Amino acid sequence: MIVLAHSDRLEALDHDDFGRFHVDASSLTEDALADLIAAGVGLYPHADPGHVWVDVDLLVRELDLTSSARRQDGWTRMLAYASSKGWVDDHATRIAAHVERAAENQH
């Protein structure tokens, strides 16, 4: 699953691919990404550079888990794996994601 970061919202893509979870912010400048995080749309600052926290409830809504048992199973497995690696916060409300950026937007 890819979380595509637009200037004003997030959009989940590849709903059934749980092996490539990340945030694609390639179209945003560093300032625009910071503004999106501050806007409260479901991204939160992370202590590790190049990562953000993503709101789990946002992902559940975007994935429409009730539409597919296979998707529900993939989500459950991804969340369990992320938890085992320490990539889920203490309250299981946020999951860490790597942020992919275009080279020209990283400065």
Report in angstroms the alpha-carbon separations of 26 from 66, 74, 90.
30, 26, 29
Q: Model confidence over 77-89: pLDDT tens digits?
A: 999 999 999 999 9
Per-residue pLDDT band at 106 (split at 50, 70, 90): low
Comparing 25 with 65, which gets the higher pLDDT? 25
Q: Model confidence over 38-56: pLDDT tens digits?
A: 999 999 999 998 999 999 9
